[in-house]
C-alpha cells in the first residue's frame, strides 16, 4: 500500500505542546480508535505502508519533530504552498505507480490543496485506471464524545467525476474512455463505444445497447447521481436513436439511420460508409424482391447489381425478367446512380485522405447525400417502381437501339469497312450474324488487307463485340460496356 498524506500544522496547542484528539474509523482501513496528534500520526501508527508525506517547508519541519517515524518507510516531499499547480503536479507524479492500493489523506490540506490533490487523483484515474481512495477525517461532535474526528472515504466523488466525464464524452462524441472503473454505467458506456467503433453491429444491438439502456435507467433513479440527470437524459435519447435503427427489418434502413447518427456526431467517413453499404443493400433488397437474384448479399452479387444499375452491365449473377429490363427502368436507375456516385466520391475522398477536401465542403456534400438517400429510399422509394413489363418500343428502349446501332455501325465501318444498317436493328444484326457464322478471318479483313479482325482484337474480344451487336434485335443493350470496349481498342493499328 502507498499512502500520500498532506501535512498541516495540527498536533500542538498554542504553546507548542503536543495535543492529541480522538479519531474514530468508519472505513475498511485497519485503524484503531484512539487519541493521536493528527491524521498523519494515525496512519503511521496503524498501517504498514510506504508513506509519502508532502507539505510546505514549515509543515514538514514541524511534523518531523512531532511524529514518531522510526522504522517506517517514509519519504518527505516539499511543495510551494502559494503555487496552485505545485501540489497538483506532485500528486499526479506520486500517483503514477503500480501499487495495488493507493490512499491520499486530504485531512490537513489547506485552502486549495485538497481540491488540487483530488483533481490530480481524478486525472490519474482517467490516465491509468489507477484506483485511488481519498481519505478524510471529518470533524464531528456529539454529547458523549465531544469534538472528535471520524474517518470517511471520499473516493465516491472521484467515481462521480469519472461518471460525469465519461457521460460528457459520450453525449458529445459517442465515445467513452477505456473501462477505468469497475462501475456498471462507465463499463456500459465503454462497451457500447467499443462495439460501435469496431463496426461490430451484432454485439452492439444484442448486448451493448440493452446493457447501456439498463445502466442509464438505473443511474437515472439513483439519488447519488441526481446531478447527472441532464447528461443521463441526453444519453438515453442517443439510445433511442439506436433502438429506432435496430427495429428496421430491412438492413438498408438501419444503415441509413446509422449514417444520419454518425453524420450528426461528425464522423464523415463512417457516415459515408453506412450510406454506401446501405445503398448497395437497397439495390439488393429490390432485386431480391423482383427475383433477379436469389443469392445472399455477398461481394460478387452486390458488385453485379451495382454494375447493372450504374452501367447496365449484365452478368451471370443476374436473372433479368426480359431483355428490355434496363431500358424500361432507365429513369429510376439514373436517379439512383447520381446519388450513389456522389456517396462513392465522398467515401473515397475521405478514406484516401484527399487534402483538397475542406470540412465545410465535406459536410455540405454529406448533408446532401443523406437528404438524397432519405428522399430516394423512403419518401419516393424509387426502386419500388421498377417494372417487369416488357415494352421494346418504350422511349428509353428506342433511344438505346438508335445509340447502339450508331456505335456499332461506326466501329465496324471505320475499322474494317463493314457496312451495317443504321435504321433497322434486325437487318443490322443479321449482317453481323452472317459474318460470325462464316469464316470472319476471310470476310473481315482490315483495309490494307494485312491484319484480320481476329488478329487485331483477339478471337475472344471479337466474339464478345459481335455478340453485343447481334443481340440488338433482342434489346440486350449494354451500350456503356460496348462503348468502353471500342474506346479501349481504338489504339489498335489496323489500317
State pTM to two decimals.
0.67
Give the up-direction half-sphere exposure of residue 309: CA atoms within 13 A in the CB hemisphere: 27
Selected residue with higher pLDDT from 351 and 448: 351
**Alpha-carbon distance values, 272 to 41, 249, 414 (Å):** 63, 21, 44
Q: How confident is the model at residue 427 (pLDDT cuts 50, 70, 90)?
A: confident
Residue 296: which region, alpha, beta or left (left: phi > 0; alpha: psi -120 to 50)? beta
Average pLDDT of span 5-27: 86
pLDDT over threshold 50, residue 472: no
Only one residue has cell 443469392, namely 295
pLDDT over threshold 50, residue 444: no
Cβ neighbours for 178, distance < 8 A, ≥ 6 positions apart: 129, 190
Q: Which three three-digit cell numbers place residue 69?
A: 517515524
pLDDT over threshold 70, residue 199: yes
Residue 463: predicted pLDDT: 60
Residue 477: predicted pLDDT: 39
Average pLDDT of span 153-176: 83
Q: How confident is the model at residue 436 (pLDDT cuts 50, 70, 90)?
A: low
Selected residue with higher pLDDT from 372 and 474: 372
Residue 275: predicted pLDDT: 95
Residue 483: predicted pLDDT: 41
**For residue 329, which of 238, 400, 275 has the smallest C-alpha distance?**
400
Q: How confident is the model at residue 433 (pLDDT cuts 50, 70, 90)?
A: low
Q: What count of residues does the chain have? A: 495
Residue pair 326/308 in contact by the 8 Å Cβ criterion: yes
Selected residue with higher pLDDT from 295 and 178: 295
pLDDT over threshold 80, residue 354: no
pLDDT over threshold 60, residue 253: yes
Give CA–CA dist 326/477, Å, rounded. Answer: 8
Mean pLDDT of the chain: 80
Average pLDDT of span 456-461: 57
**For residue 477, which of 335, 320, 319, 314 has the smallest C-alpha distance?**
314
Selected residue with higher pLDDT from 126 and 185: 185
pLDDT over threshold 50, residue 489: no
**Highest mean pLDDT: which of 38-52, 94-108, 113-127, 345-359?**
38-52
Give CA–CA dist 227/233, Å, rounded. Answer: 12
**Highest mean pLDDT: which of 102-106, 286-290, 401-405?**
286-290
Cβ neighbours for 123, distance < 8 A, ≥ 6 positions apart: 92
Residue pair 139/39 in contact by the 8 Å Cβ criterion: no
Q: Which three three-digit cell numbers place residue 231?
A: 447528461
Amino acid at each position: 500500500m502507498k499512502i500520500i498524506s498532506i501535512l498541516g500544522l495540527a498536533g500542538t496547542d498554542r504553546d507548542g505542546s503536543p495535543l492529541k484528539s480522538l479519531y474514530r474509523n468508519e472505513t475498511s482501513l485497519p485503524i484503531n480508535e484512539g487519541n493521536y496528534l493528527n491524521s498523519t500520526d494515525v496512519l503511521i501508527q496503524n498501517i504498514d505502508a510506504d508513506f509519502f508525506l508532502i507539505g510546505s517547508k514549515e509543515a514538514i519541519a514541524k511534523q518531523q519533530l512531532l511524529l514518531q517515524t522510526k522504522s517506517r518507510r517514509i519519504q518527505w516531499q516539499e511543495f510551494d504552498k502559494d503555487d496552485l499547480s505545485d501540489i497538483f503536479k506532485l500528486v499526479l507524479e506520486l500517483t503514477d505507480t503500480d501499487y495495488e492500493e493507493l490512499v491520499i489523506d486530504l485531512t490537513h490540506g489547506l485552502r486549495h490543496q485538497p481540491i488540487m490533490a483530488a483533481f490530480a487523483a481524478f486525472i490519474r484515474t482517467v490516465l491509468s485506471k489507477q484506483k485511488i481512495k481519498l481519505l478524510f477525517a471529518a470533524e464531528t461532535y456529539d454529547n458523549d464524545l465531544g469534538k472528535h474526528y471520524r474517518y470517511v472515504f471520499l473516493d465516491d466523488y472521484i467515481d462521480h467525476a469519472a461518471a460525469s466525464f465519461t457521460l460528457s464524452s459520450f453525449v458529445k462524441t459517442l465515445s467513452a474512455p477505456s473501462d477505468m472503473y469497475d462501475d456498471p454505467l462507465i463499463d456500459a458506456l465503454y462497451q457500447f463505444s467499443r462495439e460501435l467503433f469496431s463496426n461490430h453491429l451484432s454485439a452492439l444491438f444484442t448486448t451493448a445497447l440493452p446493457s447501456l439502456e439498463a445502466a442509464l435507467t438505473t443511474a437515472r433513479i439513483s439519488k447519488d447521481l441526481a446531478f447527472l440527470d441532464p447528461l443521463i437524459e441526453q444519453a438515453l435519447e442517443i439510445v433511442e436513436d439506436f433502438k429506432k435503427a435496430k427495429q428496421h427489418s430491412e438492413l438498408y434502413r438501419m444503415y441509413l439511420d446509422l449514417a444520419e447518427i454518425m453524420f450528426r456526431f461528425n464522423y464523415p467517413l463512417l457516415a459515408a460508409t453506412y450510406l454506401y453499404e446501405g445503398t448497395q443493400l437497397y439495390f439488393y433488397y429490390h432485386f431480391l424482391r423482383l427475383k433477379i437474384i436469389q443469392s445472399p448479399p455477398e461481394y460478387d452479387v452486390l458488385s453485379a447489381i451495382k454494375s447493372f444499375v450504374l452501367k447496365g452491365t449484365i452478368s451471370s449473377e443476374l436473372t433479368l425478367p426480359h431483355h428490355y429490363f434496363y431500358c424500361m427502368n432507365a429513369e429510376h436507375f439514373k436517379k439512383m446512380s447520381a446519388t450513389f456516385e456522389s456517396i462513392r466520391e465522398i467515401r473515397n475522398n475521405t478514406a484516401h485522405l484527399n487534402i483538397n477536401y475542406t470540412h465545410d465542403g465535406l459536410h455540405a456534400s454529406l448533408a446532401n447525400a443523406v437528404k438524397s438517400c432519405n428522399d430516394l429510399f423512403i419518401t419516393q422509394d424509387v426502386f419500388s417502381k421498377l417494372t417487369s413489363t416488357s415494352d421494346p418500343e418504350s422511349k428509353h428502349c428506342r433511344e438505346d437501339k438508335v445509340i447502339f446501332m450508331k456505335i456499332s455501325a461506326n466501329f465496324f465501318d471505320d475499322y474494317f469497312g463493314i457496312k451495317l444498317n443504321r435504321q433497322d436493328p434486325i437487318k443490322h444484326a443479321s449482317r453481323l450474324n452472317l459474318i460470325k457464322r462464316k469464316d470472319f478471318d476471310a470476310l473481315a479483313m482490315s483495309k490494307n488487307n494485312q491484319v484480320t479482325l481476329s488478329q487485331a482484337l483477339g478471337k475472344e474480344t471479337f466474339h464478345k463485340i459481335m455478340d453485343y451487336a447481334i443481340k440488338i434485335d433482342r434489346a440486350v443493350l449494354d451500350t456503356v460496356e460496348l462503348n468502353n470496349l471500342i474506346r479501349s481498342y481504338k489504339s489498335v493499328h489496323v489500317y
